[in-house]
Amino acid sequence: MCLAVPGKIVSIESEGGITRCGRVEFEGVVREVNLSCVPESAPGDYVLVHAGVAIGRLDEGEAKRTLALLRELIESAREGGHEAS
Amino acid sequence: MRHLSEYRDASLLRGLVARLQGATHRPYRIMEVCGGQTNTIVRYGLDQCLAPHVTLLHGPGCPVCVTPASYLDAARQLAMRPEVVLCSFGDMLRVPGSEGTLLDCKSAGADVRTLYSPLDALKLARSLPDKQVVFFSIGFETTAPLTALAVLQAAEASQPNFSVLCAHVTIPPAIFVILQSAEVQIDALLAPGHVCTVTGTQEYERLSLEFGVPIVVTGFEPADILQGVWSAIRCLEDARAGVIMQYSRAVTPEGNLQAQRLIQRVLTVTDREWRGLGVIPSSGLNLSPQFAGYDACRRFALRLESGSEPGGYCARVLRGNLAPCDCPKFLKECTAEHPLGAPMVSSEGACAAYMQYSRSMHPFGDLGGA
């Protein structure tokens, strides 16, 4: 139910408050998505789409940081450390 | 970056599991409150990859499962009216109320349809001017802004034949009830990432402070869940509470203000009955008086009667008090073909997930031989 899928904004089709919408690409499939809850989003941005509506933008920098933390966690285990977090 | 496959990488998951195996020697019980996370956990067999003394409990995180029979009975009454087209998300059609499902109504000739979004229901209303289109709207804070958006668009267009049977609920009051009841020992929680994308984390800070329980705001991919569990264990080992942000790529502490404004503008907080948990104060969302004209209960003069709640075991599963595989009816009287309760019906129900993935389960499930 709370499934939200990341997709990349291809184009903004219409501006205007609660009907703001754009075309969003999900792994090769492009669908129209309501973008009124992400008013500052622009083509190239990744958004989280829940039942046809974008509920948030994905932060590229934070994603990189999370992946780096995950790798660090594994590396520290290989080195026998126990304090990575 | 696709924001998906990176978190399903088999070598990454193997490394995380190895790390988690030795993370603690103490017994910890960690509850997730999101059907999507339950599904990932069971699908990838993550609960079986942890040290045996670390237990993952599944809380009332499936909105289809917690919607009470009273709303289903009301939806069935609406569906049987000749002028009504009753629409909802697919799983809602198969969940039993006191006397049957919405699909039973459809078999009896009612116009009942599965839709992907409340916005699609509004489109349908525009295309069927001689019908009354009712959207049976359920879901947590992730979905509530969509209902608000559809109602607001309907109001701006003065759409006369669209209304909503509004059964939305909010997560923090349910967590409060579960932590307060102490029926189940819970050492830490994984908070639902997409709910928090909308709401932010303030309510979870309060809950963590009040009950001294660490709460990790966690995503939905297998690496997210494993990192969430790792963070929870680290907090418990260090005797720290507080809110930890695992899903920082999608959640900010303040949440999505635009979506929150939509909820505040169109919906109002009310007490609400949950399947398995009873009435929880201030845990529901109804249409606010300004938009009452779009409330299906009011338009069709419906009263919500508290129905009999089938399946005492289901209630315990929803509270995290009974694992699906420990339920005496699981895969005996209760199967996907003949479900006795909502947790077996919904694709996000804990029982349905156990049924779908448990039988052939090996670590990392459908990543295959990872």
Tell me the pLDDT tens digit for each residue of B202-238.
Answer: 999 999 999 999 999 999 999 999 999 999 999 999 9
Residues 218-247 of B with CB under 8 A from A: 220, 223, 227, 230-231, 234, 246
Q: Is the pLDDT of residue B281 over 80?
A: yes
Q: Closest Cα to residue B293, out of B85, B169, B168, B154? A: B154
Residue contact B256–A85, C-beta within 8 A? no
Residue contact B149–A34, C-beta within 8 A? yes
Q: What mean pLDDT do residues B359-368 have?
A: 50
What CATH code is assigned to A5-79?
2.30.30.140
Q: Is the pLDDT of residue B119 over 90?
A: yes
For residue B308, what is the DSSP state?
Answer: P
Work out the pLDDT band at B369, boundaries 50, 70, 90: very low
Rounded Cα–Cα distance for residues B364 and B350 (Å): 18
What integer pLDDT is reported at residue B347 of this predicted model? Answer: 85
Residues 24-43 of A with CB under 8 A from B: 27, 34, 36-39
Work out the pLDDT band at A16, boundaries 50, 70, 90: confident
High-pLDDT (> 70) share of chain B, %: 95
What integer pLDDT is reported at residue B359 of this predicted model? Answer: 47
The overall average pLDDT reported for chain B is 93
Residues 44-63 of A with CB under 8 A from B: 46, 48, 50-53, 55-56, 58-60, 62-63
What integer pLDDT is reported at residue B226 of this predicted model? Answer: 97
Q: What mean pLDDT do residues B313-318 have?
A: 92
What integer pLDDT is reported at residue B338 of this predicted model? Answer: 87
Work out the pLDDT band at A85, boundaries 50, 70, 90: very low
Rounded Cα–Cα distance for residues B349 and B45 (Å): 16
* Angle at the Cα of B39 from the Cα atoms of B35 and B43, rounded to 5 degrees: 175
The reply to whether ipTM tops 0.90 is yes
What integer pLDDT is reported at residue B368 of this predicted model? Answer: 44
Q: A65 to chain B, minimum CA–CA distance in Å?
A: 9
Which two tokens mark B319?
A: 């509270």
Tell me the pLDDT tens digit for each residue of B98-114.
Answer: 889 999 999 999 999 99
- Chain B residues within 8 A of A14 when measuring between CB atoms: none
Domain boundaries, chain B: 1-311
Please state which architecture CATH assigns to domain B1-311. Answer: 3-Layer(aba) Sandwich (3.40)
Q: A14 to chain B, minimum CA–CA distance in Å?
A: 15
High-pLDDT (> 90) share of chain A, %: 82
CB B143 within 8 A of CB A51: yes
Q: Which of B116, B249, B262 sits opposite A66 (nearest CB)?
A: B249
Q: Is the pLDDT of residue B367 over 60?
A: no
